[in-house]
Structure 1
Amino acid sequence: MGDERESGGAGAFESATEGPTRDGEVSPIRSFYTPAMLARLIGVPVATIRRWRRRGLIVPVRELGRVAYYDFGQVTAARDLGKRIPSGKGSSRIERQLARLSESTGLTPARLPILIEGKRVLLRESDGLRDAAGQRWIDFDGVNGECGAGESGEGRAEARMADSDRGPFVSPTWPFAPRGEPTPPVECLVEGALELEADGDLEGAADAYRAALAAGGPNAELCFQLAETLYRLGDVAAARERYFMAIELDEHYVEARANLGCVLAESGRADLAIAALEGALSLHADYADAHYHLARMFDDCGDFPAARRHWERFLECAPDNPWADEARARILDAPEPGNRDRV
């Protein structure tokens, strides 16, 4: 990864308080937002932020240890996406169309002059409307948004749209199919997992991720995505094992270490949870999310001095994050040194 730079101990990243963005400028990382922060700001699941990133709908300005960082411009873009894309079944189709139109026009999704009708996304151009497949539509009334199909007729236009924008066919049972059946491309299986996830079928998404791993072999990112999906399904034990596997495949996977710490804490293994989070910080000392989780764990354990240190570091790394008020309140509420009781 281009933004990973070793310093000090082997595998450790440089302090990320300042660093180059994708535009080559130097910006303080404390003004950036992690996926968890971005999700909290706009009110969507973290999985949605990851899916939008994979489809190119939002673009991180920096990445360290596979932790993506977004600036305020991307916060605005994500908030706009949240307003445009309805949740639930059909949202994946809209996401694909937005990604295709963005790629064909060179405009970010937030700047696309579009009209969304049901599950169809239409781009408004000077000479009318067109869909992601290139089909022209007649804009009968640009004010109220009514539109009709172009010369080929509405029925044929609908059929063409459906054919061109159909999601990839995914059979999660593929690994157990008879020998001789063609192997689906891994990317097709992953896209299918994203589609199932967007439409709320988490069990189907987990099966598709497993199929992708069976087709392509061990992959740290796919193990991480499967772990995230299993966690959302409530299978904490299975999620824990997949996070472990992601770290085995990539020991520098900072976000996997942090998330492993969280599921270990839920499993009642505070000692291992703290070790996992401290391991994440040994690679990326300014990772605010890890400081947040460690601070809460030390608070719960009654180690208030350690908790205070991490609350303070959390605020140093991300002073404007969505949990900043909680951190400040925890610091004010902490007992004086030598007094183990809350005030």
Structure 2
Amino acid sequence: MWTSYSARHAAQLIGLAESAVRSCIRDGLVGTPGTVPAQLSFRDLSALRTVKALVDAGVPLPRVRKELLAIQALLPAGTSLAELTVEARNGSVHVRGSIPTSNGGAGQLALPFDATIEAGPEGALGELRELPRSPEAPVPVAVAPATADQWLSRAQLLEERDPVAAIDAYRRSLRLRPDCTEAWINLGRLFAESNDGDAARDCFKSALELDPAEATAYYNLGVLAQDAGKEGDAIELYRRALELDPQLAEAHYNLATLFDQSGDSRSAIRHINEYRKLTR
């Protein structure tokens, strides 16, 4: 009987993309962040089944991760998400029953029955990366968007609530402004998260045609290659991404997992150390 599971083995057992499992590990939802190779327990598999059930119920993976992180922050040390009864309702994550919280002391506080957990702090939207958004105020979205920027703003607002509508909005934005790298990358990320790898790949390649120095597009293509079992292609794509953006911590982490799987422990250690430096 298995006593520990790799990210790949866990992904196969649960039915999640390997990249989704890796992102849950990096978040600290399961396993030990920053450790390669990942060693997942049976309890971790149960937590990943919760993730899978929420995604299957229609909650987008980025929202699942954010809300589960918010829940986890309330739990006492050593308590696993696998110990909770979690369900999806109206596109959000709900906890059924009451749970002890980490700040309750001897008379621990408990979340009320069927409490909705609001999304936690902003974080990476899944394994795939989006371009950093402008700190400027978003363009106001009209009732009926007319410009590329208005459709882009609407798409960004819809991503977590309605990914299908967000995809449509990104497409409308790109019809009006096909040279928008940000829209291509975000559209590709949504396609990848909906398991349409071919459409995602086309979007990332379109972004690179517009900007051959776009590290995020190379990184996201690497994620697709790694999920498809094309380890050699993934390594080259991650390396190219790091040439363009040496601060891209996720690429170091994924390279560490790939080199560990291939038995190149020296390279794996080098990349996991770089990952730890960048994420301190």
TM-score, normalising length: structure 1? 0.41
Larger strand fraction of residues:
1
Compare CA radii of gyration and give the structure with the larger one: 1
